[in-house]
Amino acid sequence: MNTPVRILGIAGSLRRESYNRAALRAATKLVPKGAILETLELDGIPAFNQDKEQNPPARVSELKRRIRKADAILFVTPEYNYSVSGVLKNAIDWASRPHGDSAWNGKPAAIMGATTGAIGTARAQNHLRQILVYLNMFPINQPEVLISHAMDRFDQEGNLTDAPTRDRIIELLQNLVDWARRIGPK
Ligand SMILES: Cc1cc2nc3c(=O)[nH]c(=O)nc-3n(C[C@H](O)[C@H](O)[C@H](O)COP(=O)(O)O)c2cc1C
């Protein structure tokens, strides 16, 4: 019970001023006591090629190692054409392979996302939940952290300024930590 819950946060955007990366940075400052939130950047991960899955690039091996070390995963997803971004799906695919050696298997997870649009990444989050079924991951359901009109919720430096969003992220992280403790390590 005294061992901290290690959360790995992954934002599905490479953009320098990404709202999703900004939301993940905000989350690192809102983790509850007894938990650690580390972040993983997806830059430098090549496009998935099944010919290489048995001997993957170094960035992919690192990705899998970091996922395996984590007790829980926090996905921060943009919405691209009603789904998750390609870079996030690409990372998910790499770390799920080769068959029988998925790094995601059995991990508790939480999902949040930011968009400049009005629906707060709800459609992308729903797609991600479907993907997590096949990965045998266990995402919490509540609260939904749907960050719409992101340009109004972060300042020019990418700091989260919207108090209700901050409160929901705090609740999401607390629920994730409680859930990870309940279902235990894989
Ligand atoms: C290829 C592409 C598709 C997009 N599709 C959607 C969409 O379906 N729904 C939505 O709300 N926003 C959509 N957007 C807007 C993104 O939510 C917005 O660019 C957001 O800032 C991207 O996340 P980021 O700031 O973390 O990079 C799209 C943006 C791009 C570049």
| 22 CA closest ligand 1 atom index | 26
CB 114 within 8 A of CB 147: yes
CA of 80 to the centre of ligand 1 (A): 5
Tokens of 169: 């992220």
CA 78 – ligand 1 centroid, Å: 6
CA of 122 from ligand 1 middle (Å) equals 12
Average pLDDT, the chain: 97
- Residue pLDDT, tens place only, 112-143: 999 999 999 999 999 999 999 999 999 999 99
Residue 1 has pLDDT above 90, yes or no: no
pLDDT at 93 over 60: yes
User: Can you give the pTM of this predicted structure?
Assistant: 0.98
